[in-house]
Amino acid sequence: MIKIYMKMKKLWYLPMFLLILSIVSCKGQPVQSESNSNGTSELIVDVQGKTNPEINSSPVHLTKADFLQLVMDYEKNTEKWIYLGEKPCLIDFYADWCAPCRITSPILEDLARDYSGKINIYKIDVDVEKELAAVFGISSIPTFLFCPMEGNPTISSGIANTPEATRELFIKQIDELLIKSKNNTTI
C-alpha cells in the first residue's frame, strides 16, 4: 500500500512540473513600443516643457506618474475633474492579451498621426497600471477615456464589428467629444 502511495505521489509531481513549466514558458514579453531601455515610457518635450506634436505622433504609454502629471492629479483633486493637458486626449485602457485591444492598436497609431498636433493619444496597460484602472472603474477592455479641454471626460467601451467601422467610430467620437468649438461645431 505504501509503495502504491509513493508511486502516485511521484506521478503527481510530473504533471505539476509540466503545468508550471508551460505557464512560465507561455508568458509573453510585454510590448514596449515608445519605451526606453529601462522599460519606462518616453514623452518627448521641447525646451519650454511642451509636448512636441511632430515627434509624438503615435500613442504614448502612460504610467501612473505620467498620468498624474499630464492628464489629472486625482490624488490632489479628489472632488473635481481638473484636466492638466495642453490638448484634448484619448486614453486607451488595454491589455496585451486582449484581442479587441490588438485590433484597435493600429487604428490608434493611424489616428495619432492624423490628429497630430490636435489631440494626444495615450495608452494605459491595465495589467501594469492596476490603480489607474481601478480609479476609473475599468471592468472591461478596451475602454476609452475622451478628455476634452473643458468639462468632464466621457468614457466609452468596446469596438465596432469591423476595423473600418471602429476607425469611423473613433473619428466621430474624437470630432464630437474632443475637437469642437464652444458652439459645439467641429473645428
Q: Which of 26, 89, 98, 147 is catalytic?
A: 98
* Whole-angstrom distance, CA of residue 163 vs CA of residue 175: 18
> Using CA atoms, how far apart are residues 20 and 139, in angstroms rounded to an integer?
28
Residue 3 CB-density burial (10 A; 0-12 exposed, 13-18 middle, 19+ buried) = exposed
Alpha-carbon distance of 141 to 168, in angstroms, equals: 19
Residue 98 among the catalytic residues: yes
Asked if the bond preceding 88 is cis, omega within 30° of 0, the reply is no
Cell numbers describing residue 174: 474624437
The DSSP line for 133-183 is HHHTT--SSSEEEEE-SSS--EEEE---SSHHHHHHHHHHHIIIIISB-TT
> What DSSP designation does 29 have?
P
Q: Name the residues annotated as catalytic.
A: 98, 101
